[in-house]
Structure 1
Amino acid sequence: MTSFTIGRRAALLGAAGAVTTFAIGGRAFAQGEPVTFGALPPLSGAGGPYGPAMLRAIQGVVEEANAAGGIRGRQIRVVAEDDQTNPDAGVRGARKLIDVDRVSAIMGTWASSVTTAVAPLCWENRRPLFTVSGADSITQLPHQGYIFRTQPNSRLQIQTGSDWLLAKGARRIFHLAAQSPFAQSSQDVLAEKFRAAGGQVTGFIVYERDKTNFRSEIDQLMRSRSDTVMLNGYLPDVTILLRELYRAGFDGRKFTFAYAAPPSIFQSLPNDVTNGLITFQPSPDVDSAAFRRLKDRFGNTDVDPYSAQTNDHATLAILAAALAGDASGTAIRDNVRKISQGEGEKVSSVTEGLRAIAAGRQVNYEGSSGPVEFDDKGDIRGTKFRFEQAEGGSFKLLEIV
């Protein structure tokens, strides 16, 4: 297991900041022991294209907060573990973060299978878990309020994707899904939506992700006379599926989640294979001040939805602890909604939020991924979606809805 920490540089940034104590309610809070947060992104495996940027977003928020004096004068430290997009590795990483590093919260889990495996450790140890995983089942767990999901759940994602496809004329869709916690729930929503519109799911196959060919699955698709195929998998298997669809001469609409076909897919497949592929994903709030600030920090690196969300994970945890005057996991859990929804002063950065809290004002953080308002289960209430199409080795924006 590989660990990553930021501490000394962040501490130096904090020492250089203009604010080293906060006065709240007339009381000054002196600098104490550092507050430690855990990051558990996929730095390798199927989520590897996203994990490093997700961690970078978290680190950027922490450095900004430390430069402003930290949490009521306490510096912030991040310890990161690579979950390898693997539940077993995720559990090992979470155990270390909780038992050894004594983190106050964990953020950045990506794959639903990893989040499902890690979640019980978090609520049993009273540590909030901030996640970008989409499976409906995650927030249906008995998590006692310790899960906050910034990614729309799979029902909302499939509903949005289905509505878009139906509006574009899709009527006969074949569903190829990797074995995952959201395969069946995705199928249930897809069938419901297409049936209501007079369409049909012409086939549903759940496959093992580590297969090296999918000839039998593609043969069934070709016999189904479908006008659309939904590829509900991850980058390694979707890459193979796209190659085999091209060889089989499938001329229908190819549709997948953007995380299954990131821009790196053009390095593995020729343009003839990828041309026409349509992807969709939750869209960051590209017009927000928080997104623009993150984009400036990333420079030439694109800000994907998951980096925008982990930027918000770190900000939410820090501001919740600052408002509570307590960095325990339970205190963070109990204060997340108090700093992210309601009638407070709108803030778009951790620095703005810390200053407002220090002055005794209520805040309402609006993030780079959009308004971060959570329902009683911990699900994000809503977001926009971005649809793109592969053309000549790059993705072109179709629309944001």
Structure 2
Amino acid sequence: MKTIHSFVMSAVGLAALCASPAFAQQATFQVGALTPVTGAGAPYGAGMSKAIEIAVAEINAAGGAKGAKLVVSSEDSQTAPQAAVLGAKKLLSVSNVKALIGVWSSGESLAVMPLTNEANVLLMHASGAPALSGPPVNDKKLGFRFQATNGRFGRAFAEIAKREGYTKPATMAFNNASGLGNTEGFATAWKAAGKEVVASVVYEPNRPSYRSELQSVLRAKPDVIVTGSYLADTTIILREWYQSGVNTKWIIPGWAANADLIKALGPEVTEGIISVETVSNEAAPSYKHYAEAAGKAGINVQGNAYAAMAYDQAIILGLAVQAAGPTASGTELAKKVHEIGTAGGTQVYTFAEGKKKLEAGERVSYIGASSALNFDEFNDVTPDFAAWKIEKGQLVRKYIVKL
């Protein structure tokens, strides 16, 4: 009897010991990474995935967010809305993620946001479509944009066209939310200055040739063609333009006018093309901290601005979990992300620094590596832009454009 009693008491003691904080299993916070490992976004997807890993490792090395370890489950969006939806459903229903980060293209974000809204889960993305700003798509304000809107891209295109001295621009747009948003943003800004767009063409995806659409634009004799395009279609259009022998210039978004375009077409065809892309927050301590870690991880720091955006998404999510707790609802987390991503608090540049300030009861404002963030009422940001020009097969940065 005494032996049985001793055994029971020992078992109770062991159970109590195992339940103590020192031996309790650490809480977790599930994060979904939905990045474009394949498809049009593939030049950026691997870097985005690595940047998320870097950020999560930093958060966990600092003791986690409010005691919770961040755990990442990943899916390839394939830069395609249908694949993104399938990946998001798996992350939401199987991995039970409380936030979805790393989404790249507008088509993906527009397809996925209804799912995250229904699940009351945050969606952090790098998409430009204007529809992602407010109702009805982002009526719950669970979506956060870390890239410039297509409208802001269009304004940057207009500033660059003006600076370069062009007077007769035309536009060519891929028929989706992003492509149309870019060229419509340009046209709006250009016409607001009392100027004319001489031709505008919208073309369909997955065509073997765009010769007829191109000829329609060239008949207007533009001195520059502004595109809302992706790499595959841009490659075809530029090849057919070069074969036509017509002399005109091009302003193309950076995700289409990149090193892969030069590789596909060669220096002669791409000479003089202006590539426009947002630039990271290069003067900020957060960028310097990120760039060092990203460089060691093999990320093309200057050539992949989206990786810095993905890094910021994970860091500010960690800070929001630290502030609201790992069991907070999506709505509660969204309020903290917005608060931490706007001015008014003590400026912080790393998760560890922000965690320390939050534990001391201070309000913090995270200054990102990709931009200063400073979310507006739609949870959008306004980063700076840069104009690169392709010269002798190399992308050469020429100047910064601030809106």
TM-score by structure 1 length? 0.89
List aligned pairs for 1:67-146, cutoff 5 A. Answer: 67-142=61-136, 143=138, 144-146=140-142
Alignment-mate amino acid for residue 103 of structure 1: V
CA distance in 1, matches of 2:331, 2:190: 43
User: For residue 49 of structure 1, what is the aligned residue in structure 2?
Assistant: 43
Structure 1 window deviating more from structure 2 (187-196 vs 137-146): it is 187-196
How far is 1:297 from its partner? Answer: 1.1
TM-score by structure 2 length? 0.89
CA distance in 1, matches of 2:180, 2:264: 29
Alignment-mate amino acid for residue 258 of structure 2: P
User: For residue 324 of structure 1, what is the aligned residue in structure 2?
Assistant: 324
List aligned pairs for 1:161-310, cutoff 5 A. Answer: 161-299=157-295, 301-303=299-301, 304-310=304-310
Q: Is the 8 A contact 1:31 1:73 kept in 2?
A: no
User: For residue 337 of structure 2, what is the aligned residue in structure 1?
Assistant: 336
How far is 1:163 from its partner? Answer: 2.0
- Identity fraction in percent: 32
Q: Is the 8 A contact 1:131 1:148 kept in 2?
A: yes
Q: Deviations over 1:292-344 (max 9, x none)?
A: 11211122532222111111100111100110123442321121122222332
Structure 1 window deviating more from structure 2 (227-236 vs 328-337): it is 328-337
Alignment-mate amino acid for residue 54 of structure 1: M
User: For residue 396 of structure 2, what is the aligned residue in structure 1?
Assistant: 396
User: For residue 374 of structure 1, what is the aligned residue in structure 2?
Assistant: 375
Alignment-mate amino acid for residue 118 of structure 1: V
Alignment-mate amino acid for residue 191 of structure 1: A
Q: Is the 8 A contact 2:66 2:323 kept in 1?
A: no
User: For residue 314 of structure 1, what is the aligned residue in structure 2?
Assistant: 314
Alignment-mate amino acid for residue 352 of structure 1: E
User: For residue 4 of structure 2, what is the aligned residue in structure 1?
Assistant: none
Q: Is the 8 A contact 2:151 2:186 kept in 1?
A: no
Q: Deviations over 1:163-186 (max 9, x none)?
A: 221232112112111111134444
Q: Is the 8 A contact 2:183 2:228 kept in 1?
A: no
How far is 1:113 from its partner? Answer: 0.7
Q: Is the 8 A contact 1:190 1:201 kept in 2?
A: no
1:58 aligns with 2:58: no
How far is 1:270 from its partner? Answer: 1.2
CA distance in 2, matches of 1:392, 1:292: 30
Report which of the two structures shows the higher radius of gyration computed on alpha carbons: 2
**Structure 1 residue matching 2:374: 3-state secondary structure:** coil
CA distance in 1, matches of 2:28, 2:339: 23
Change in CA separation of 1:178 and 1:314 when aligned onto 2, cut-off 3 Å: same
How far is 1:84 from its partner? Answer: 0.3
Point out where structure 2 has 5 or more consecutive residues left out of the alignment. Answer: 1-20
Alignment-mate amino acid for residue 89 of structure 2: R
User: For residue 13 of structure 1, what is the aligned residue in structure 2?
Assistant: none
How far is 1:235 from its partner? Answer: 0.6
Q: Deviations over 1:135-169 (max 9, x none)?
A: 10112333311011111111111012112212321
User: For residue 384 of structure 1, what is the aligned residue in structure 2?
Assistant: 384
Alignment-mate amino acid for residue 99 of structure 1: S
Change in CA separation of 1:74 and 1:194 when aligned onto 2, cut-off 3 Å: closer
Q: Deviations over 1:353-400 (max 9, x none)?
A: 1222223222111010121111222211x2211110011111001101
Q: Is the 8 A contact 1:175 1:205 kept in 2?
A: yes
How far is 1:31 from its partner? Answer: 6.0
CA distance in 1, matches of 2:182, 2:70: 39
Alignment-mate amino acid for residue 359 of structure 1: A
CA distance in 2, matches of 1:186, 1:279: 13
CA distance in 2, matches of 1:287, 1:213: 43
Structure 1 window deviating more from structure 2 (57-66 vs 241-250): it is 241-250
Q: Deviations over 1:258-279 (max 9, x none)?
A: 0112212222111101110101
Alignment root-mean-square deviation, CA:
1.7
Structure 1 window deviating more from structure 2 (319-328 vs 145-154): it is 319-328
How far is 1:56 from its partner? Answer: 0.8
Q: Is the 8 A contact 2:275 2:388 kept in 1?
A: yes
Structure 1 window deviating more from structure 2 (320-329 vs 108-117): it is 320-329
CA distance in 2, matches of 1:110, 1:182: 11
CA distance in 1, matches of 2:180, 2:41: 21
Q: Is the 8 A contact 2:175 2:205 kept in 1?
A: yes
CA distance in 1, matches of 2:63, 2:193: 56
| Runs of 4+ in structure 1 over 6 Å off | none
Q: Is the 8 A contact 2:179 2:227 kept in 1?
A: no
